[in-house]
Amino acid sequence: MLLKQKAHTSYRRFPKRHRKLSIVLVAIVAIAIIWPLSEPEPESSSVLAQRQSLALGQKNIHEQQDNRHTTTAANQTKAEPISPLAARRKQNNQQQQDSESIVQQELAVSQERLKTDSAEPSVPSLETIPLNQAPSPRTEVYTIAKGDTLSTIFEQFDIGQSAMYQVLEADVSLLALDTLKPGDLLKFWIDEHQQLQKLEIRFNPAHQVLYSRVDDKEFTYEDIIIDGDWAQFPIKGIIEGSFSVSADRAGLTRGEVAQVAGLFKDKINFNRDFRVGDTFEIVRNRQFINGVPSGQSELSAIRLGNQKRELSAYLYQDGNYYDVKGDSLARAFLRRPLTQNYRVSSSFNPNRKHPVTGRIRPHNGVDFATPRGTKVLAAGDGVVTRIENHPYAGKYIVIEHGGQYRTRYLHLNKFKVSKGQAVSRGQTIALSGNTGRSTGPHLHYEFHINGRPVNPLTAKIPVAAAIDSSERDKFQALVKELNQMMEAG
Ligand SMILES: [Zn+2]
């Protein structure tokens, strides 16, 4: 319903004359490419820029095949020739802000390609190019802008609503399309029948999702997460004003500030207990893909000092934070986000086969047979980051639990919390239901570690405990190393 409404507004925002304008643009750019030029024309550089950005996503996927992790419904990434132009591609300067070096590498490749193209022997004259030529397969790259909806974007490229719903259906086990934000890139592969064949989301150099058509009715997905290289950097600061203002000034993101506050919330009141002159020292671990920062980072160590005491947190290899003595800072999670043990009606199964098509359709969560209206509890302390209504997942909630843990609750009937709200373990967040595509009332519950779904009933999830005595020495060596790094920084 919501999507339809948005599609309607998009008509008003993109009047018909824009389409005519685009057709004219296609023709102009087409001429610019095939015109036999002895000297470069101003148009050439813009064509070059377009090609360059089109090639960008493609290249990365290939280069990084060796160290990427994929969760997939069917593995089928194969290179396709890049279409010669995408004239209606939205111009946006701020795309690929942090990928300059890749762009430069691409430049050389694209220049080569451009030369080959203009050396083609038979060149049709202007008159022989009909404006209403049958469309040929093409790729389109689009940078998400503020206020965009999936409907408006699909509309802009003349891709039918049915394809959009098919992609949304493939996305139900991932829900990646709901996380699109300004600056993310979408790449469309559209065939000569104006049918969408593939869609890639490029969140950052380390994370892409590819949806591929398998038949008239269905798409599969591939979630591509690249490990890249990680490097640690110390950050130091002195409290002036509040902690968040000072941390922001030192370069921490809002998410990182919230994470620090969450880690120590039982030990310190961030509004009251800091004084001007108190210090904070942090080691931040940043991800690089081919030497380019991906924007992903994690905090390896944190020390907060005031006159009375020093607080510390060190990220150990098990993914949990411990203080300097080795006591865990993470609070335990509930195995089941419910007040009683409801029957499991469908288990976690990454290789589940669709009963009809026989294709792999992962079940990334556990289904509990809860009657409509059953209280759904927050599995752990955290912040509600998403409250959505999806055509297939129904009403759902996402909670981030600091660092690498995330839980999701689907097919809900009624929300009891709002976006941005901090929640505690065991707090009622919703009433279960049967919304979206669901065969009966149930709760679909997911637990993610570092963006990857795990079985919530069996996975190793944090329990408030101390470092095991057998690992004490190793942990103490890590503490020493990170302390030295903070002191040097
Ligand atoms: Zn389910």
Chain-wide mean pLDDT for the chain?
76
Residues 76 and 40 in one domain: yes
For residues 238-245, average pLDDT: 87
Residue 354 shares a structural domain with residue 305: no
User: How many domains is the chain built from?
Assistant: 3
pLDDT bin (cut points 50, 70, 90) of residue 37 is: very low
| Residue 460 counted as domain residue | no
pLDDT of residue 463: 64
Compute, in angstroms, the gap from residue 202 CA to the centroid of ligand 1: 26
Identify any residues that bridge with 196 across adjacent strands, giving them in sequence order: 190
Could you tell me the distance, in angstroms and rounded to a whole number, from the CA of residue 363 to the centre of ligand 1? 6
Ligand 1 centroid–CA 339 distance in Å is 19
**Contact predicate 226/295, CB 8 Å:** no
Residue type, 127: E
Domain of residue 180, CATH code:
3.10.450.350
Say if residue 169 is in the same domain as residue 22. yes
Calculate mean pLDDT across residues 114-130: 42
Residue 353 lies in a domain: yes
**Higher pLDDT among residues 13 and 244, named by residue:** 244
Tell the burial category of 217 from Cβ atoms under 10 Å away from its Cβ (0-12, 13-18, 19+).
Answer: exposed
Angle at 226 between CA 348 and CA 385, to 5 degrees: 60
Cα of 434 vs centre of ligand 1, distance in Å, is 11
Q: Can you say whether the dihedral through the CA atoms of 214, 206, 463, 382 is positive or negative?
A: negative
The residue among 120 and 336 whose pLDDT is bigger is 336
365 alpha carbon – ligand 1 mean position (Å): 6
Confidence of residue 27 (pLDDT cuts 50, 70, 90): low
Task: Say yes or no to pLDDT of 78 above 80.
Answer: no
Confidence of residue 19 (pLDDT cuts 50, 70, 90): low
Residue-wise pLDDT tens digits, 441-474: 999 999 998 888 999 999 988 765 788 889 999 9
Q: Does some domain include residue 470? A: yes
Å from CA of 445 to ligand 1 middle: 7
Percentage of the chain with pLDDT > 70? 71
> What's the predicted TM-score (pTM) here?
0.61
CA–CA separation, 226 vs 223, rounded Å? Answer: 10
Question: Same structural domain for residues 222 and 233?
Answer: no
* Domain C-terminal end among 193, 226, 259: 226
Cα(366) to centroid of ligand 1, in Å?
A: 6
Q: How confident is the model at residue 229 (pLDDT cuts 50, 70, 90)?
A: very high
> Residue 388 C-alpha to ligand 1 middle, in angstroms?
16
Comparing 96-105, 114-123, 153-162, 395-404, the range with the smallest average pLDDT is 96-105
286-325 pLDDT tens trace: 999 989 888 888 899 999 987 677 899 999 887 788 999 9
How far, in Å, from the CA of 151 to the mean position of ligand 1? 26
pLDDT at 275: 81
pLDDT greater than 70 at residue 55? no
Q: Does the residue 336 lie in any domain? A: no
Residue 459 is assigned to a structural domain of this protein: no
What spacing in Å lies between the alpha carbon of 444 and ligand 1's midpoint? 4
| CA atoms of 176 and 203, how far apart (whole Å) | 9
Q: Read off φ and ψ for residue 412, nearest 5 degrees.
A: -75, 160
Whether the predicted pLDDT of 424 surpasses 70: yes
Instruction: Tell whether the model's pLDDT for residue 144 goes beyond 90.
Output: yes
Residue 391 sits in which domain range?
344-454
Share above pLDDT 90 across residues of the chain, in percent, rounded to a whole number: 46
Banded pLDDT at 357 (limits 50, 70, 90): confident
Q: Are residues 152 and 206 in the same domain?
A: yes
Asked if residue 334 is part of any domain, the answer here is: no
CA of 428 to the centre of ligand 1 (A): 20
Range 184-199 average pLDDT: 96
> What is the 347 CA–ligand 1 centroid distance (Å)?
8
Same domain, 207 and 67: yes
d(CA 193, CA 137): 8
pLDDT at 69: 56
Kindly state the average pLDDT of the residues 41-58.
35
Tell me the mean pLDDT in the region 88-115. Answer: 33
- The Cβ of residue 229 has, within 10 Å, a number of other Cβ atoms equal to 12
Residue 11 has pLDDT above 60, yes or no: no
Q: Is 352 a member of any domain?
A: yes
In this model, does residue 21 exceed pLDDT 60? no
Domain boundary among 226, 245, 262: 226
Average pLDDT (216-238) is: 92
For residue 368, the CA-to-ligand 1 centroid distance in Å is 8
pLDDT at 14: 40
Residues 168 and 142 in one domain: yes
Q: From residue 35, give the alpha-carbon distance in Å to each of 127, 159, 333.
A: 13, 30, 65
In 381-457, the DSSP E strands lie at 382-390, 394-400, 405-415, 422-423, 428-432, 443-449, 452-454
Centroid of ligand 1 to alpha carbon of 397 (angstroms)? 14
Is residue 107 pLDDT above 60, yes or no? no
pLDDT of residue 268: 82
Name the band, by pLDDT with cuts 50, 70 and 90, for residue 153. very high
The answer to whether residues 73 and 131 belong to one domain is yes
Task: Please write the tens of the pLDDT for every residue from 165-191.
Answer: 999 999 998 999 999 999 999 999 999
Q: Kindly give the distance from the C-alpha atom of residue 201 to the centroid of ligand 1, in angstroms, as a whole number.
A: 24
Å from CA of 154 to ligand 1 middle: 28
The reply to whether 139 and 27 lie within a common domain is: yes
87 in a structural domain: yes
- Å from CA of 370 to ligand 1 middle: 12
The predicted model gives 148-153 an average pLDDT of 93
